[in-house]
Amino acid sequence: MAQSLDTVFAALADPTRRRILSMLLEDDMAVTDVAEPFEMSLAAVSKHLGILTRAGLISQERRGRVVWCKLEPDALRDASIWMQSFGQFEAVHLDAFEQFLAKEFRDDG
Protein backbone atom coordinates (compact mmCIF):
# COMPACT_ATOMS: atom_id res chain seq x y z
CA MET A 1 0.00 0.00 0.00
CA ALA A 2 2.87 2.42 0.78
CA GLN A 3 4.17 2.24 -2.81
CA SER A 4 0.71 2.92 -4.26
CA LEU A 5 0.20 5.81 -1.81
CA ASP A 6 3.53 7.28 -2.86
CA THR A 7 2.53 7.00 -6.51
CA VAL A 8 -0.90 8.55 -5.93
CA PHE A 9 0.42 11.44 -3.84
CA ALA A 10 3.23 12.08 -6.35
CA ALA A 11 0.64 12.24 -9.12
CA LEU A 12 -1.56 14.58 -7.06
CA ALA A 13 1.40 16.86 -6.27
CA ASP A 14 1.16 18.60 -9.62
CA PRO A 15 -1.52 21.29 -10.12
CA THR A 16 -1.95 20.41 -13.80
CA ARG A 17 -2.77 16.81 -12.91
CA ARG A 18 -5.19 17.90 -10.19
CA ARG A 19 -6.92 20.14 -12.72
CA ILE A 20 -7.15 17.25 -15.18
CA LEU A 21 -8.78 15.09 -12.49
CA SER A 22 -11.26 17.89 -11.77
CA MET A 23 -12.13 18.09 -15.46
CA LEU A 24 -12.71 14.34 -15.59
CA LEU A 25 -15.14 14.54 -12.66
CA GLU A 26 -17.69 15.85 -15.16
CA ASP A 27 -17.39 13.10 -17.77
CA ASP A 28 -14.97 11.01 -19.82
CA MET A 29 -12.95 13.16 -22.21
CA ALA A 30 -10.86 12.67 -25.33
CA VAL A 31 -7.16 13.39 -24.81
CA THR A 32 -7.36 16.34 -27.21
CA ASP A 33 -10.23 17.84 -25.19
CA VAL A 34 -8.28 17.37 -21.96
CA ALA A 35 -5.31 19.18 -23.53
CA GLU A 36 -7.33 22.10 -24.93
CA PRO A 37 -7.40 24.44 -21.89
CA PHE A 38 -3.68 24.02 -21.14
CA GLU A 39 -0.95 26.19 -22.58
CA MET A 40 1.35 23.26 -23.26
CA SER A 41 1.92 20.76 -26.02
CA LEU A 42 -0.21 17.67 -26.49
CA ALA A 43 2.91 15.63 -25.72
CA ALA A 44 3.30 17.40 -22.35
CA VAL A 45 -0.35 16.76 -21.47
CA SER A 46 0.10 13.13 -22.54
CA LYS A 47 2.97 12.80 -20.06
CA HIS A 48 0.69 14.07 -17.28
CA LEU A 49 -1.99 11.60 -18.38
CA GLY A 50 0.57 8.80 -18.30
CA ILE A 51 1.49 9.63 -14.70
CA LEU A 52 -2.19 9.70 -13.71
CA THR A 53 -2.74 6.38 -15.49
CA ARG A 54 0.25 4.70 -13.79
CA ALA A 55 -1.08 5.93 -10.44
CA GLY A 56 -4.43 4.31 -11.27
CA LEU A 57 -6.24 7.66 -11.00
CA ILE A 58 -7.47 7.53 -14.60
CA SER A 59 -7.81 4.93 -17.32
CA GLN A 60 -7.32 5.49 -21.02
CA GLU A 61 -9.16 3.62 -23.74
CA ARG A 62 -8.78 3.84 -27.50
CA ARG A 63 -12.10 4.09 -29.30
CA GLY A 64 -11.36 4.17 -33.01
CA ARG A 65 -8.77 6.91 -33.54
CA VAL A 66 -9.56 8.70 -30.30
CA VAL A 67 -8.08 7.99 -26.87
CA TRP A 68 -10.57 8.64 -24.06
CA CYS A 69 -9.70 9.35 -20.43
CA LYS A 70 -11.88 8.24 -17.55
CA LEU A 71 -11.56 9.09 -13.86
CA GLU A 72 -11.01 6.07 -11.61
CA PRO A 73 -12.19 7.42 -8.24
CA ASP A 74 -11.55 4.16 -6.38
CA ALA A 75 -7.82 4.81 -6.75
CA LEU A 76 -8.15 7.62 -4.22
CA ARG A 77 -9.69 5.30 -1.61
CA ASP A 78 -6.40 4.26 0.04
CA ALA A 79 -5.16 7.85 0.09
CA SER A 80 -8.44 9.00 1.60
CA ILE A 81 -8.34 6.29 4.26
CA TRP A 82 -4.76 7.21 5.09
CA MET A 83 -5.65 10.91 5.45
CA GLN A 84 -8.70 10.08 7.57
CA SER A 85 -6.46 8.16 9.97
CA PHE A 86 -5.33 11.56 11.22
CA GLY A 87 -8.65 11.84 13.02
CA GLN A 88 -7.85 15.10 14.79
CA PHE A 89 -8.22 16.88 11.47
CA GLU A 90 -11.55 17.78 9.98
CA ALA A 91 -12.10 17.16 6.28
CA VAL A 92 -8.89 17.84 4.41
CA HIS A 93 -9.13 20.94 2.25
CA LEU A 94 -6.47 20.27 -0.38
CA ASP A 95 -6.37 23.83 -1.77
CA ALA A 96 -5.75 25.26 1.70
CA PHE A 97 -3.12 22.59 2.32
CA GLU A 98 -1.40 23.45 -0.98
CA GLN A 99 -1.42 27.16 -0.08
CA PHE A 100 0.05 26.34 3.33
CA LEU A 101 2.85 24.30 1.76
CA ALA A 102 3.58 27.01 -0.81
CA LYS A 103 3.87 29.58 1.97
CA GLU A 104 6.12 27.32 4.02
CA PHE A 105 8.47 26.76 1.07
CA ARG A 106 8.53 30.51 0.27
CA ASP A 107 9.37 31.32 3.88
CA ASP A 108 12.18 28.74 3.94
CA GLY A 109 13.80 30.13 0.78
pLDDT tens-digit profile of 36-75?
Answer: 999 999 999 999 999 999 999 999 999 999 999 999 988 8
This prediction has a pTM of: 0.75
Q: Tell me: pLDDT of 105 over 90.
A: no
Q: Can you tell me the distance from the alpha carbon of 83 to that of 96, in angstroms, rounded to the nearest whole number?
A: 15
- 78: CATH: 1.10.10.10
Give me the domain span that covers residue 51: 2-108
Q: What pLDDT score does 89 carry?
A: 55
Number of folded domains in the chain? 1
Nearest to 52, CA basis, from 20, 95, 90, 26: 20
Task: Tell me the pLDDT band of 91, cut-offs 50, 70 and 90.
Answer: low
